[in-house]
Structure 1
């Protein structure tokens, strides 16, 4: 069916902490004053991407997953839902401090197929920008006591970041993206968030935003342990490939193209987001120009493809 990449239209999401960089830096048509997220590769019902080319143009990615499993080498064991979600987030202000459940809790308590393990590639960070990643509580009783008292400064761990940093965030990790940071997030296809602290902000109607301290206390990993990982690098012709993480739910790479490279798709399918520069991708004698802000899937029906140009990409697969 498809002997070419499947290009996708991003879905823009309004967020109280969002800014305008998704427009100014990526060229997306932002419909809100505070546009915080672009769901750039998504089959989630809260923001499914539309296909922009080929026989399935104007269908959603979820439509393709359900009706054309051959594009993803989908089996019954893969379940009914597309497994991954890729976003670009513009944190003009601090995001709420939050935590996500694992698969078993999400299925049992929320009735959804996936919890949320995620990872972040920092695209841009203002001087002095930082994340919250983890906590200092030694046991669950200390965690609950600190939450109830609102002892956030002593509880939460702050981590400075700069552009090019990579952060792995397993389910159960208390976290927050700080103001002045733009990230590309690769995650399980889940939209379950338990808000722990929100800086006493109010919504558009002046009401405090809901917190979910009970659920957060139940799902948070105690004590917190910083994830350990090794970045592995290889070179394929003019392409430098850095494997950022390989875990149960996804493997994520940073590709740095400086010339030409011929590649074989060895996984069921590849998700690709262009984060810098421009290039050409050729499949079966069809050539497509790609540039910063474009997102596409190399389907299972494409075995070999070539890249030419100068560009950086974040690539992922299950």
Structure 2
């Protein structure tokens, strides 16, 4: 039985809006200073994470999902691994965009998952903002404002600060603003429909493709911004804040100063260390933890201890 955490190596993605904060904040060895995304826990075909410890070292998370279902609490695994965890460095504004639900993704794109996601703000510059939602009441109203280029009238801007959390269901118009670093937990999907990209051009002088019609079809009307119910529990030295419990994932913010023993059990846990240092102890073996580490705690681990001064984002199905 596999009795250790499964540590994963990030996959980096260059983006027109990327920067170098994945290096300066997390110590990652990024390919260049336009690195917008680290796919830190991923089995997606566009950037699968590799396992870097234990008997599965050198395998991808996707391979583990298909060949070792017991690690995920399953007798067999069908389809694709459902979740994807990223860290994004928005050195410039991201495009205004929207993602489809599962039905649209399957019927139109031939992909298994739509994209519902959530954001935890790890860092941001003063006066940072996101776009979250729109003011149109109907699809026709939305199309009219898009066609007229009435972006300030259509789009809703929201100020953000470090530690903020946003649940972003499929169909939500959104954009991460300049100067924000977020941890994103989402369905394992790479489908994005751009609505507006500030008329900017890439290094070759080309504007990026927009997907207006698809965006109009998948957007929710009118916008709904019902925030999930947040629940905090204090268990000894651990402050565990459940940020969201929805159809596709449950996400916690764990702040630990001391030691905790098996605070949560699920089929498997996806863990990203976003601050501090410490260790996780499994079956008498200690594994060091530091900011920027990402690992899966498999279903085959029935008990564990975590010690140190740490903040971790934890997710499961």
Q: TM-score, normalised by structure 2?
A: 0.98
Equivalence for 1:155: 154
CA shift for structure 1 position 316? 0.2
Equivalence for 1:127: 126
SS of residue in 2 equivalent to 1:46 = coil
Measure, in 2, the Cα distance between the counterparts of 1:68 and 1:58: 14
CA shift for structure 1 position 289? 0.6
CA shift for structure 1 position 75? 4.9
CA shift for structure 1 position 159? 0.4
Gaps of 5+ in 1: none
Q: Residue 265 of structure 1 contacts residue 303 of structure 1 at CA under 8 Å; is this kept in 2?
A: no
Measure, in 2, the Cα distance between the counterparts of 1:2 and 1:229: 35
Q: Residue 166 of structure 2 contacts residue 227 of structure 2 at CA under 8 Å; is this kept in 1?
A: no
Gaps of 5+ in 2: none
Measure, in 2, the Cα distance between the counterparts of 1:125 and 1:117: 23
> What pairs with 1:21-170 in structure 2 (closer than 5 Å)?
21-75=21-75, 79-170=78-169
Measure, in 1, the Cα distance between the counterparts of 2:224 and 2:263: 37
Measure, in 1, the Cα distance between the counterparts of 2:144 and 2:303: 55
* Residues 259-304 of structure 1: CA deviation (Å, up to 9, x unaligned): 0110155210000000000011000001011000000000000010
SS of residue in 1 equivalent to 2:43 = coil
Measure, in 2, the Cα distance between the counterparts of 1:264 and 1:244: 16
Count of aligned pairs between the two proteins:
317
* Residues 226-281 of structure 1: CA deviation (Å, up to 9, x unaligned): 12322101112211100000000000000000101101552100000000000110
Q: Residue 264 of structure 1 contacts residue 303 of structure 1 at CA under 8 Å; is this kept in 2?
A: no
SS of residue in 2 equivalent to 1:304 = coil
Question: Relative to 1, partners in 2 of residues 1:199 and 1:250: Cα closer, same or farther, differing over 3 Å?
Answer: same
Equivalence for 2:225: 226
SS of residue in 1 equivalent to 2:14 = strand
Q: TM-score, normalised by structure 1?
A: 0.98
Equivalence for 2:278: 279
> What pairs with 1:185-264 in structure 2 (closer than 5 Å)?
185-263=184-262
